[in-house]
Amino acid sequence: MIYLLGAVLVGSAVAKFAQIPKVVSQMNAAGFDRPRLMLIAMLEADGAILFMMPRTRVLGLLLVSAYLGGAIAYTSGTQPVP
């Protein structure tokens, strides 16, 4: 399960690094321009790689949970409440 989550996060980071038009347009709509997109991709990939290695799993878990927590906080703050 750890490696599956790590692979999903690495895949997401690769999509951001590759500048896939749909990903770039969605991130631009969220207010993140290309330099910030590269920073986000780098932090996401670093956290995922550290999370998948047993010796650095604790640090990786901290980075991944902070990344996902920020994503949830941003999403919940921008969506209208029904």
Instruction: Kindly report, residue by residue over 13-53, the tens digit of the pLDDT.
Output: 999 999 999 988 888 888 888 889 999 999 999 999 999 99
Candidates 9, 76, 77; CA nearest to 42 is 9
Q: Amino acid letter at 57?
A: R
| pLDDT over 70 (residue 79) | no
Is 75 or 16 the better-scoring residue by pLDDT? 16
What Rg, from alpha-carbon coordinates, does the chain have?
13
What is the rounded average pLDDT of the residues 65-69? 92
* Sequence ranges of the domains in the chain: 2-75
CA distances from 34 to 4, 31, 66 (A): 27, 10, 21
